[in-house]
Structures are given as structure tokens and as C-alpha cells.
């Protein structure tokens, strides 16, 4: 390979995640440091796929999201790229024998193409999957290595807070950290997904429309105006973090469900407590809450749990396949599909459950 006539490419895939203890509010906007810790479950079936390429013939850093070019000028992209570039090492491409020396990375531009297999910006954490994938793909391309466990999660965090949790599978904790430089505001895996094999996650896409208030803007306004947010961060979340981790470790579905629903509801209450108020859920979201609450109350113990991010789509949890089927039947009763053909779309993991 001579001169400028080469391209080196890597492709990675990273999943989305859903918080069961929610992150909402920053103490540092630039480093994306949160005002409270959070816990998430990784959603393997919703993912971003990102290809990063480098070539001496590229004249600027460029990015395509779902086929459309978008600017890479934002601080968030620049910060992630700069952090990975500064950790680049000598890279030898096994297939071609091409060698890219450590010192050349700073002069090479990247092209990035990323796509999601789920609705972008509809409250299904597309930025989380996207930035986790970008950081992971760039690190592979440039031969960057972590100097401590969780270091890459601090870089993904610079792209989008929730992205730090998407670098791990299973159940993940993002510790808010104490340091001003963000070095201890990292994500770590609580436990692998195999730990709780029976747990079923159902995603009810209520709307794939883009949300009106971005999470970034929404949480800024909440930090400035919501007294409930301060109370939540200081007095509610620390206790829930301990209880949720324990519930996950014990596979205690009743406690997991109670905490998950309560935390989703407090997050949305905080949005309502913001001035001007923010509404992420719609009537369909509220009917789904009603369905789960009524069912749980009639059984006397939680059968299912719900959580909603910054959008109207529901993420529902059931303790096993049998309960998941029952939950799905109840959802279909409340929202009958327009035709038989629609039923084939209801799947849990790889298996159609209808």
C-alpha cells in the first residue's frame, strides 16, 4: 500500500439501554457529570452499528447518521474523538499488513457511518447506543487501550451521559463519582445478563416520532427549576441504588418491579415539576401504566413492571415467559391489532410468543 491510496475500516455494534434508576440532571455540562447515580438494563435487540474509516485522502472528520450527513462540529463528537486519538497506538492491519504509526493518528481524519435498528430520538436511548458504538469502534480502529477498567465509559459519557452504560451487557451501574475531572464517573457491570435468564423485556413502541424536548435541554431546565429533582438526587436515589442492586443480585422481581415503576414515575413527576413542565408520556403510555398497576394490584404482588424514558414508549418487564405471554395478551386486548398480520410483529427475543 503506497501513498494515500488506502482506507482502514472497523465496524462495531453497541446496544441501547433502559434505566431502571434514572439519570436526570448534570452537575457539569461540559464533562457530563450527573447529579445522581443510575442503573440500567442493556437492551441487546436495539442497537447501533457503526463503521469508522480512516484514510490519508480524507480531508475532514465526517459523520453520517442513518444515511444522512450531520455535522461533527459539536463538542460531544470532538471530545470523544480527541480522547480516543490521544490514546492511539501503532496499528498493524492483519489482512493487508498496513501499519499506521502512533504519531500519524493525529494527522488522519475519520469518516463515520452509523445506523440504528430502532426509532431515533423517540426515548429509546439512541444516543446511548450511538456514542458507545462510536467510542468502541474508534478505540478498535486506533488501537486505544483502557488504562483502568471503565476508562472508555468515561469517554462515551462525554458523548452522552447514558452512553457510558451501553459499553456493558446485562445490568449496569453508573456511579456519579466525586472528582471534578470525571475520572471516577464511570459505568461498571453489576452482573451479566445470564444471571437473570428468566427476566423478559417487552418494548412497546407507542410512537416513533421525535420527541419535542431533548433530554439535554429538559434536564438543564429541571436542574434550574425543579425542587423535586434536588430532593430526588439527594434523598431518594442513593437508597434506591442500594435496594435495586440488591434486588438484581437476588433476582427479587417484586422489589425490582416496585423500584422500577416508582423511579420511572418520579422521573416523570420531576419533568412535570419543571418550569415550563415537560411531558414525555402520552395517553397510550398512561393506559399501559394503568394496565400493569391494575393487574399487579389484583394479584397482590407485582406481575410486571414498566418504565418510560424521555419519550412515550414503554419498556415492560415480566419475571418469566409465562407471565410475559399473559402481559402481551392483556396489551393486545387493550390495543387490538388492526389485522392478523400485525400479530407476527409481537416477539420476545428471537421467538414469536403468539
Contact footprint for ligand 2P0 (CB under 6 A):
19, 22-24, 32, 38, 125, 127, 160-162, 215-216, 267, 309-310
150 contacts: CB under 8 Å, gap ≥ 6: 186, 187, 188
Strand partners of residue 43: 16
State which residue, 82 or 104, has the beta carbon closest to ligand 2P0. Answer: 82
State which residue, 124 or 304, has the beta carbon closest to ligand 2P0. Answer: 124
State which residue, 83 or 162, has the beta carbon closest to ligand 2P0. Answer: 162
State which residue, 273 or 309, has the beta carbon closest to ligand 2P0. Answer: 309
State which residue, 100 or 135, has the beta carbon closest to ligand 2P0. Answer: 135
CB 160 to ligand 2P0: min, Å? 3
CB 168 to ligand 2P0: min, Å? 14
CB 330 to ligand 2P0: min, Å? 25
Pairing of strands 109-116, 62-65: parallel
- What is the spatial distance between Cα 239 and Cα 242, in angstroms, rounded to a whole number? 5
Cα 38 to Cα 44, 108, 237, 334, distances in angstroms: 19, 36, 8, 32
CB 267 to ligand 2P0: min, Å? 6
Phi then psi for residue 87, to 5 deg, are: -105, 5
Residue 93 near residue 283 (C-beta atoms within 8 A)? no
CB 18 to ligand 2P0: min, Å? 7
State which residue, 54 or 241, has the beta carbon closest to ligand 2P0. Answer: 241
If we measure between CA atoms, which residue out of 132, 87, 113, 134 comes closest to residue 7? 113
CB 175 to ligand 2P0: min, Å? 13
Residue nearest to ligand 2P0 (CB): 161
- What is the spatial distance between Cα 266 and Cα 23, in angstroms, rounded to a whole number? 11
Strand partners of residue 188: 173
State which residue, 160 or 313, has the beta carbon closest to ligand 2P0. Answer: 160
- What is the spatial distance between Cα 214 and Cα 216, in angstroms, rounded to a whole number? 5
CB 117 to ligand 2P0: min, Å? 18
Please spell the DSSP secondary structure of 164-193, one letter per residue: GGGGS-SEEEE---S-TTSTT--EEEEE-G
Amino acid at each position: 500500500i503506497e501513498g494515500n491510496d488506502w482506507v482502514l475500516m472497523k465496524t462495531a455494534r453497541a446496544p441501547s439501554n433502559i434505566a431502571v434508576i434514572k439519570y436526570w440532571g448534570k452537575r457539569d455540562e461540559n464533562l457530563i457529570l450527573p447529579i445522581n447515580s443510575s442503573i440500567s438494563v442493556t437492551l441487546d435487540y436495539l442497537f447501533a452499528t457503526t463503521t469508522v474509516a480512516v484514510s490519508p485522502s480524507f480531508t475532514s472528520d465526517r459523520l453520517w447518521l442513518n444515511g444522512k450527513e450531520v455535522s461533527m462540529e459539536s463538542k460531544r463528537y470532538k471530545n470523544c474523538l480527541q480522547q480516543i486519538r490521544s490514546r492511539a497506538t501503532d496499528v498493524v492491519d492483519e489482512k493487508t499488513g498496513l501499519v499506521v504509526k502512533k504519531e500519524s493518528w493525529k494527522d488522519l481524519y475519520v469518516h463515520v457511518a452509523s445506523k440504528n435498528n430502532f426509532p431515533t430520538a423517540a426515548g429509546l436511548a439512541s444516543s446511548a447506543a450511538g456514542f458507545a458504538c462510536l467510542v468502541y469502534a474508534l478505540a478498535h480502529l486506533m488501537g486505544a487501550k483502557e488504562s483502568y477498567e471503565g476508562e472508555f465509559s468515561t469517554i462515551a459519557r462525554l458523548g452522552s451521559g447514558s452512553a457510558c452504560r451501553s459499553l456493558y451487557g446485562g445490568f449496569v451501574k453508573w456511579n456519579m463519582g466525586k472528582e471534578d475531572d470525571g475520572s471516577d464517573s464511570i459505568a461498571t457491570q453489576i452482573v451479566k445478563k445470564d444471571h437473570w435468564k428468566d427476566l423478559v423485556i417487552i418494548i412497546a413502541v407507542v410512537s416513533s416520532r421525535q420527541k419535542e424536548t431533548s433530554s439535554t435541554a429538559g434536564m438543564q431546565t429541571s436542574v434550574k427549576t425543579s425542587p423535586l429533582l434536588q430532593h430526588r438526587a439527594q434523598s431518594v436515589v442513593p437508597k434506591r441504588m442500594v435496594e435495586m442492586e440488591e434486588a438484581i443480585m437476588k433476582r427479587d422481581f417484586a422489589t425490582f418491579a416496585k423500584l422500577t415503576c416508582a423511579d420511572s414515575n418520579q422521573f416523570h413527576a420531576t419533568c412535570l415539576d419543571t418550569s415550563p413542565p415537560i411531558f414525555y408520556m402520552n395517553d397510550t403510555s398512561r393506559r399501559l401504566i394503568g394496565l400493569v398497576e391494575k393487574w399487579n394490584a389484583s394479584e397482590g404482588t407485582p406481575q410486571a413492571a414498566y418504565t418510560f424514558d424521555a419519550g412515550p414508549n414503554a419498556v415492560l418487564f415480566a419475571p418469566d415467559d409465562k407471565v410475559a405471554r399473559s402481559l402481551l395478551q392483556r396489551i393486545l386486548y387493550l390495543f387490538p391489532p388492526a389485522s392478523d398480520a400485525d400479530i407476527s410483529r409481537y416477539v420476545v427475543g428471537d421467538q414469536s410468543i403468539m
